[in-house]
Amino acid sequence: MASVPLFLGFQRAPNTQSLIDGAVRPKGIDLSVQTQFAEGYDNVGARHRWIIEGKLDGGELSISSFILARLRGLPLRAFPVFLSRRFRHRCMYFPVNSPLRDPSELAGKKVTVHRYNATTPVWLKGILQNEYGVKPQSVEWHVAEPDIAEESLHPPPPDIRVRFIPAPRTREHAIEMLEREELDAALEPYDVLSANSKLRRIFADHHKVEAEFFRRTGAFPINHLLVLRECFADAHPWIVESLLNAFRQAESAADSYRSEKQKEEAAWERSVMGEPFAYSLKKGPARRSLATLIDYQIQQGLLDRRPDIESLFFPQTLDV
């Protein structure tokens, strides 16, 4: 039987690198992978647009975009393969000389996020509101990009103040504005910001507050998951199990691609959760984390109704 060609897009990362270099090959699938879609920080957003527009057969997609797409009837379905995941308290930044010391002080301030409806901002807005009492309505949000794809079809509630930063409207320019203290804070996931001498993390000991957040909520912030156009599973039902097994193998091989610092971080995450993160809705924190994200989306007025979690995923993946 000839292999089924699949064209997927995802991030080059330790938990996907073995699929990119061919060390792991999904059975019965001739896999083509693309990792580059745009320059700079927009690479991720561009990949999401390609998937939603059908330029790819599937790949790594923003969970926020995916849920909105699924509710609209787009023929995409997910795997419990959460490729991008990490604690998010570390993603809050002040200018280095800011007098602000606590996230509760962000009410009434100017805060930048790359897109208002994107998954990382949803997590961070939820954390601000539920952990520190800062409602989205109390902040003036400055964005570098319009919401993309499905996110753009569901604008923020009318009492939310969203402003575009001045040209050039790029994420890089938003960070430059923060460095000059034209903005008060940034909620952004880019590791490079931690080495920026003009910025400082809001939480000096982010590991401590992140571990406390997990112990209190049971949620480990998940950002992206693997999706596939349903027509492939309809024509070849076995393809679901093949892809799931391949991505699980790639996850198991991730440590061989991690730097020492990344290995230390992965070991710390396992110690906080008490087990390795599992690509499963049956065990580990994935289901609780997804439910928390959906709670935040509803609280922020980004979803009109709560989706049934099982309906988002290929049925073959629910019991594994």
Interval 295-320: pLDDT, tens = 999 999 999 889 999 999 999 999 87
Alpha helices in 3-55 (DSSP H): 17-20, 43-53
Angle, vertex CA 210, rays to CA 156 and CA 282, nearest 5: 80
Q: Write down the mean pLDDT value for the chain.
A: 94
Distance of CA 254 to the CA centre of its chain: 18
Can you give the pTM of this predicted structure?
0.94
| Rounded alpha-carbon distances, angstroms, from residue 23 to 14, 53, 286 | 12, 30, 26
Nearest to 214 by CA among 289, 128, 266, 283: 289
For residue 150, the model assigns a pLDDT of 59
Mean pLDDT of 232-252: 98
- Compute the average pLDDT of residues 35-58: 90
Query: In this predicted model, which residue has the larger pLDDT, 43 or 228?
Result: 228
pLDDT of residue 319: 86
Q: In the beta sheet, which residues pair with residue 6? A: 31
Give the residue from 211, 200, 242 showing the smallest Cα distance to 102.
Answer: 200
How far apart, in whole angstroms, are the C-alpha atoms of residue 69 and residue 12? 24
Omega into 168 within 30° of 0, i.e. cis? yes
Q: Token pair of 27, please?
A: 């059975």
**Residue 302 contacts residue 154 (beta carbons within 8 Å):** yes
Instruction: Give the single-character DSSP code of 106.
Output: G
pLDDT at 192 over 80: yes
Distances (CA, A) of 153 to 2, 145, 165, 293, 303: 40, 14, 21, 19, 11
Handedness of CA 164, 166, 167, 172 (dihedral sign): negative
Q: Which of 30-39, 57-66, 140-149 has the lowest mean pLDDT?
A: 140-149
How many Cα neighbours within 13 Å face the side chain of 133?
3
Helix, strand, coil percentages for the chain (3-state, nearest 5): 45, 15, 40
- What are the two backbone dihedrals, phi and then psi, of residue 186, each rounded to the nearest 5 degrees? -130, 140
Per-residue pLDDT reduced to its tens digit, 94-153: 999 999 999 999 999 999 998 898 899 999 999 999 999 999 999 999 998 776 655 666
Domains and CATH numbers, the chain: 4-85+219-317 (3.40.190.10), 89-217 (3.40.190.10)
Say how far apart CA 38 and CA 302 lie, in whole Å: 27
Q: What are the pLDDT digits (tens) for 62-100? A: 999 899 999 989 999 999 999 999 999 999 999 999 999
Q: Place 282 in a pLDDT band, splitting at 50, 70 and 90.
A: very high
**How far is Cα 103 from Cα 50, in angstroms, rounded to an integer?**
35
Predicted pLDDT of residue 147:
64
